[in-house]
Amino acid sequence: MTSAQRLAQHIAALNLDLDQVARDKLLAYVALILKWNKVYNLTAIRDEMQAIDLHIADSLTLVPHVSEDRIADIGAGAGLPGIVLAICKPELQVELVDTVDKKCVFMRQAAGTLGLKNVSVHHVRVEKWQPSAPFPAISSRAFAELVDFVSWTDHLLAPGGRWLAMKGVYPSDEIARLPAGVRVSESIPLKVPGMDVERHLIILQKHS
């Protein structure tokens, strides 16, 4: 099976409507990650099929759950899930935030190479970041404990906005430690195609 066929299988399993341009960009993005990995050690994964399964398919599970027009992706690392969102949703403005300079350099290079005009990258500690406007959605993938995620990004969330935290097993303990005023509005089990792993999307909102 080719990498294009593997990706097509995952897209079909997730019932996503992605054109050939998006599919080609996703494959080109994987190639960039693997190329830069040789020098920058962006991710532990070195195999193309593994990268499609563990990084791209996993990030694709978030796509159907993002309905906003702007999103901040925190602790974006190599751009997962933010760059995947930007490829799949060209109308979505994606701001990628990470504290590691080499990862930001890679994300800028990837966005430029892939022609993603809807991406901007910020090398900054998220709690010190002061964007021009708050965000209707803030995402993270295996970034930090929920209480840290919401406290570090509280100043970035627009009224009525949502935190979208991609987690593995259901994080009962983390949810129990959430601050007063933050609640789980939805918990969605995510099925990563071709993988027998537990994943959850925890959607958090403020309440008075």
CB atoms within 10 A of CB 11: 21
80: annotated binding-site residue?
A: yes
Q: Are 109 and 79 in contact (CB under 8 A)?
A: no
Q: Is 87 exposed, middle or buried (0-12, 13-18, 19+ CB in 10 A)?
A: buried
d(CA 120, CA 131): 12
183 annotated ligand-binding residue: no
Q: Is 75 annotated as a binding residue?
A: yes
Q: Which two tokens stand for residue 52?
A: 């499609």
Determine phi and psi for 94, rounding to 5 degrees: -115, 125
Residue 177 is assigned to a ligand binding site: no
Handedness of CA 153, 154, 155, 161 (dihedral sign): positive
127 is in an annotated binding site: yes
| Angle at 88 (CA atoms; ends 93, 120), nearest 5 degrees | 30
Count the Cβ atoms, other than its own, within 10 Å of residue 69.
Answer: 13
Binding-site residues from annotation: 75, 80, 126-127, 141
The binding site for S-adenosyl-L-methionine consists of 75, 80, 126-127, 141
